[in-house]
Structure formats: C-alpha cells, structure tokens
C-alpha cells in the first residue's frame, strides 16, 4: 500500500534533506519483505542510534515531487529505515505508471537533528560538510568521471543542499572551523540541509558482506582502480575536487587534533588491555611498546606525503572511506561492482583506499603468506591495464605510508577505548573494521604497522 497525498494537502516547504553522509548499509539489498512504517516517526535502531524521524518523514513526498514532478503522489517505505549518527536513509517504492524508477534510495539530513546532538560548531560543521561533499561529488564530479569511463557508482536522480548563512559556498572542507561560532546562535536551522536520491540496487543482483573473501577483495580493488584511473593525474579535475570536496575520512587534516595529541596515551591503554595477546604474538617489544610515540613523530611527514596537490604525480580522486560495506558486489561476477557513500571523496593517493580496504575488510589468515602482497599487486596490475603509470618502488612506498597513516587514525580514534571485551561484543558487526572486532586481525595489523614504520622512519627523518 502506498502513502498518498490528499488533494487538499498543501506542499510543505522543502526544508529537509538527504545527506551525503556515510551510511555503510545505505544500499543494503531490498528484501522480499516489504512493509509500511506503522506510523510516522517510527524507526529502526541501527548501529546503536535511535531518534524520531517524524519531522523528516513529512518531507519525503515533497522531496520526491521535487525530483520527479508533482504527479508523483505516493510512496512505500521498504523495510526499516537506516539510522546512523549523521543521516537517515530509506528505500522507497514509487507508484507504477509514472516516468520515474520503481524504487529509489533517499538519504536525508535535517540540520535541526544535529544542532543539539553535536557538542560544538566544529562537530556540527563536520557533519554538514560530509553531506556537502557527497552531494557535490554526485552533482559536479561524477558526471565528468562517467564521461571518462567510470561507472562503479550509483546514478543520482536528485542532489540539493542549503547551508547558506552557516557554511559559505567558497569555504573549503579542509579549513579549520571558526571556534568563535556558537552553534546555537546560527540562523534558521529548520531551513538548512540537503537531499540525495539515488538508484536502488536489488538483492537479486548485488550484496554486501564483511569480511571479504580474497576474490571479493580483488573485485573491490578492481573497482577502486577504475575510480582512480578515471581521474589519474587529471589536474583540472583534481583542482575541482580539491576545491569542492573534502579529504579522506582518516586524513590528518580532517581529524580532531586531540586524536594525535592523545595517541601515545591511547596506545598505552591499548597495549595494556591487550598485553597478553601482544606477548602471545611475540609483539611485546620495546619498539612496539613505543608505537604510539613513533606514530605521533611520523604523523605530519606521512600526512604530507600521502596528501598530494592537484598537480602532483600519481594524484587522483579517491573514495576516502573504502570499507567492505561501502561496496555492493554483484552476486554474479559479471554484474558490476558499485561503490557507495561518497562523503569522503577527495583528491588523494589511490593507495589510501587500498590500505584501508585491505586491513578493514580481509581476514588475517588470508593476508598472511603473501596474501596482502598479492592484493596490492592485483590492484596495481588493474591500474596499469587501464593506462596508469605507477612505478613499483613508488607504489610500494605509498602503500606503506598509507597503512601507517591509517594506523595513526585507528590508534588515536578507534583503539583508545578498545578491550578484548569490546572486540568480542563487535565481532558480528559487519560495518566495523576487522582490526576492531578481531584480536587476531588487530595483532597482525600491529605487526605490519611496526614493520612498515621501521622501513620508512629513517627516510622520514632525512626528508
């Protein structure tokens, strides 16, 4: 049964919107069960977050009508809404017989949902900038990349946002927030937000999973190579991306400075909590006990090397949050691989996507005995087959630096409260990195980070 709009109902003003924020399961395949929400505002609790969506629900129909025209008079919500800290998403079935797709996915954010939930303007601004980045990617950047042969992203039917009076259009996502701004004094929060309507993928053709098999990881890395090849050293496109988009989710310039400042304490807590596992893995050494300090000492130089300017060699456009659950893989190998949630899309090194994906998504036993190296080589061969020149010595160094960069983020942000108990509690959560829900994965990652850091520390000092 479709929700219909009474003929006497006036069209509400379009305040709300669909966000470009990272919803890892935003494109979870449509299941056979198709149910209406029993009442407006009822929502599923996803990933530990719960809030009323009643106000947002009042804008679903107006948003659809803005995208597809006023003759669209109803919709059906398929399954549960997806509630994440930065967005609400939902699959919608549209009425038959119209000039629109049968099903779409709506991602929306209302600024009013976050004014009270975010501690300060810096946090609120980051949420809105993630939204702006994804909307700009689909509106301004993806069409250019489509013309260059990249098609591993969903079609966007509608993109729009309004952050006027809060964030200037010329303000870059990478510039620091104005600490003098009081978020509670910002004008007209009920008028701020953005919306994104995307094509929906069916469970008959695509699925998500984590961790991935080696074959699955190779297919994801092939899609990453296609993304990177479509913008490889394209200075004009990269300047556009640099001006309009953001940086990778774990890029040092996008992180709270407190993470790096507290990384030594975070590592001390982690190593204390996991001492028995570190000892059993042969990792309780002076060098590893000082891993937090070593990551802090290397952080700035590493970040500089893995954050290229638009005119630099090997620069490209990256996904920026390339975990397994941000990829829809064809159930049949002939079906295209589709990447989703482009809220961290940016100019960067493609190896940032590779480093995150490998250690976020693949089991340690598959990475051992040359498995990690084989995935890297598969990515590089795919990239070279697409016409990109990437000397092996440069690529290997970039990969190691990007793993170290990811480790700096992970230790400072994700591992500061990790314990064996928290990992056990998260073990079945597919949206969480393997290295944060599997002790063997975490121990292997520590070993690899120590190895790569040891290989580059001297050169970082010398340069």
Residue by residue, DSSP assigns 12-52 as: PP-------S--TTTTPPBPS-----SSTT----BTTB---
Cα separation values, 300 from 43, 260, 346, 460, Å: 42, 10, 19, 10
Using alpha carbons, select from 12, 246, 36, 200 the residue that is nearest to residue 107. Answer: 200
3-state SS assignment for residue 270: helix
3-state SS assignment for residue 166: coil
pLDDT (mean) for 223-232: 97
Task: Check if the beta carbon of residue 283 is closer than 8 Å to that of residue 451.
Answer: no
Q: What is the pTM of this model?
A: 0.86
pLDDT at 195 over 60: yes
Query: What token pair was written down for 397?
Result: 């160094």
Residues 6+ apart with CB under 8 A from 286: none
Segment 52-91, tens digit of pLDDT = 667 778 889 999 999 999 999 999 999 988 887 778 899 9
User: What proportion of the chain, given as a percentage, has pLDDT over 70?
Assistant: 88
pLDDT of 461 reads 67
């Amino acid at each position: 049964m479709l929700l219909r709009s009474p003929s006497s109902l006036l069209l509400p003003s379009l305040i709300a919107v669909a966000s470009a924020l990272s919803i890892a399961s935003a494109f979870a395949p449509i299941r056979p069960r198709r149910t209406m929400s029993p009442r407006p505002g009822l929502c599923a609790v996803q990933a530990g977050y719960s809030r009323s969506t009643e106000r947002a629900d009042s804008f679903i129909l107006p948003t659809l009508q803005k995208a597809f025209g006023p003759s669209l008079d109803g919709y059906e919500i398929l399954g549960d809404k997806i509630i994440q800290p930065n967005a609400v998403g939902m699959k919608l079935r549209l009425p038959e017989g119209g000039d629109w797709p049968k099903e779409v996915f709506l991602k929306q954010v209302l600024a009013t949902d976050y004014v009270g939930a975010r501690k300060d303007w810096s946090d609120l601004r980051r949420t809105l900038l993630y939204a702006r980045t994804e909307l700009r990617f689909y509106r301004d950047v993806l069409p250019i990349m489509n013309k260059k042969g990249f098609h591993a992203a969903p079609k966007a039917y509608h993109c729009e946002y309004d952050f006027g009076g809060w964030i200037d259009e010329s303000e870059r996502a990478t510039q620091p927030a104005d600490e003098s701004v009081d978020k509670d004094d910002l004008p007209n929060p009920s008028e701020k937000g953005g919306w994104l309507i995307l094509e929906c993928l069916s469970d008959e053709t695509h699925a998500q999973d984590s961790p991935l098999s080696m074959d699955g990881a190779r297919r994801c890395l092939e899609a990453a190579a296609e993304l990177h090849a479509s913008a490889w050293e394209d200075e004009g496109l990269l300047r556009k991306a640099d001006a309009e988009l953001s940086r990778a989710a774990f890029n040092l310039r996008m992180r709270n400075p407190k993470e790096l400042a507290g990384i030594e304490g975070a590592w001390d807590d982690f190593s204390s909590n996991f001492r028995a596992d570190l000892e059993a893995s042969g990792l309780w050494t002076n060098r590893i006990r000082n891993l937090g300090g070593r990551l802090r000492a290397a952080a700035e130089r590493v970040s500089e090397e893995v954050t290229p300017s638009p005119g630099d060699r090997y620069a490209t456009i990256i996904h920026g949050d390339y975990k397994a659950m941000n990829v829809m893989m064809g159930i049949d190998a002939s079906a295209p691989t589709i990447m989703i949630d482009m809220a961290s899309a940016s100019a960067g090194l493609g190896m940032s996507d590779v480093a995150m994906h490998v250690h976020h998504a693949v089991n340690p036993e598959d990475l051992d005995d040359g498995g990690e190296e084989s995935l890297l080589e598969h990515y590089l061969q795919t990239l070279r087959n697409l016409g990109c020149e990437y000397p092996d010595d440069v690529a290997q160094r970039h990969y190691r630096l990007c793993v170290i960069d990811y480790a700096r983020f992970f230790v400072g942000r994700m591992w500061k409260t990790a314990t064996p108990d928290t990992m056990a509690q998260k073990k079945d959560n597919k949206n969480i990195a393997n290295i944060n829900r599997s002790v063997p994965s975490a121990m292997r990652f520590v070993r690899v980070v120590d190895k790569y850091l040891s290989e580059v520390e001297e050169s970082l000092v010398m340069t």
